[in-house]
Amino acid sequence: MKINISRIIQSYLKAFLDAIHFKMLIILLFPFVLSVTVVYFSWGHILAFADSLILISSENAVLSFFASIASFLLSTIGLVLYIIVIALIFQMIFSIFYAPFIVSFVHNKYYSHITREEALSFIESIIYFLKIVALLLFFMILCIPVYFIPFVGHIVFFVIFFIFFKNTITLDVAAAIFCKKDYMFFLSFYKKEIWVFTLSLYILSLIPIVNFFVLIFQIAAFTHFVFSCKEKMIQGIQ
């Protein structure tokens, strides 16, 4: 089916208003403080360890020159990447706990006329989530040699975490709105739109500083998107 850009834009606009709601701002503080704390206390140790390895490998002037460049890149680009990774990890973990609250908030405020259902039981959701995490770890380990290839490594890293993000947010939100039959139909019929929409949400996570605050917005936006799709499904209009 064709991608409904209007639905995506409306989901973004409504989610922005939800994200600046007082209740949402309160629950946003915890992962933000935790991410900053982890980066603050761990980065110095990581940088010191990496610098020690670089110094050991630089035994002459030429190697020393490249070692200084490597150290500079690590302390700048490396820090940015580390912040992004930590923020993404906490976002994905906390989305498990925040998603039910945000889905309920959006449902009560905008879509109370639509009945919420559950595609998966609690145990099924946990099992499915663990499978997603296992696949993430498997591909991260499998692709370790590729990370050291300039540009290609960044693309592979981006793709792996994007797929993980897409699968988790779909599980957290859509599975809490549809029954199992409609959930499978939603994943199939709106497949292209789901990929495009979740990709746009994921890109926001890669922006330094913004990635600390975007979790609530992402879940709210995708919740609006899912409810909008369900509303059209009920009306027989896709």
- Asked whether residue 42 is assigned to any structural domain, the reply reads no
Residue 174 within any structural domain of the chain: yes
- 84 in a structural domain: no
The more confident residue out of 71 and 153 is 153
Rounded Cα distance between 67 and 92, Å, is: 35
The number of folded domains in the chain is 1
Q: Which domain holds residue 11?
A: 5-30+94-235
Give the type of residue at 225: F
148 pLDDT higher than 80? no
DSSP assignment of 83-113 equals HHHHHHHHHHHHHHHHHHHHHHHHHHHH-TT
Is 182 inside any structural domain?
A: yes
HEC profile for 168-181? Answer: HHHHHHHHHCCCHH
pTM of the model: 0.73
Query: Which has more pLDDT, 45 or 1?
Result: 45
Mean of the per-residue pLDDT values of the chain:
80
* 208: alpha, beta or left? (left if phi > 0; alpha if psi -120 to 50): beta
Residue 40 placed within a domain? no
State the pLDDT at residue 59: 55
CB-CB contact of 122 with 83 (8 Å): no
The whole-number pLDDT of residue 106 equals 93
Q: What is the pLDDT of residue 61?
A: 47
The Cα 5–Cα 58 span in angstroms is 53
User: Which tens digit of pLDDT belongs to each residue from 186-209?
Assistant: 999 999 999 999 999 999 888 877
- The pLDDT tens digits for 109-120 are 999 999 888 877
Q: How far from 14 is each of 9, 39, 64, 194, CA to CA, in Å?
A: 9, 32, 54, 18
| Residue 89 included in any domain | no
Q: With a cut of 70, say whether residue 163 has pLDDT above it.
A: yes
End-to-end CA distance of the chain: 9
Q: Give the 3-state secondary structure of 24-82.
A: HHHHHHHHHHHHHHHHHHHHHHHHHHHHHHHHHHCCCHHHHHHHHHHHHHHHHHHHHHH
CB 156 within 8 A of CB 140: no
Q: What is the pLDDT of residue 154?
A: 78
Tokens describing residue 197: 């929409």
| Contact (Cβ atoms closer than 8 angstroms) between residue 117 and residue 182 | yes
pLDDT level of residue 12 (50, 70, 90 thresholds): very high
Let me know if residue 115 belongs to a domain: yes
Task: Determine the Cα–Cα distance for residues 172 and 238; give it in Å rounded to an integer.
Answer: 22
- For residue 51, is pLDDT > 60? yes
Number of H helices, E strands in the chain: 10, 0
- Under DSSP, the state recorded for 114 is S
Give the tokens for residue 65. Answer: 């020159």
The answer to whether residue 131 sits within a structural domain is yes
Residue 94 has pLDDT above 90, yes or no: no
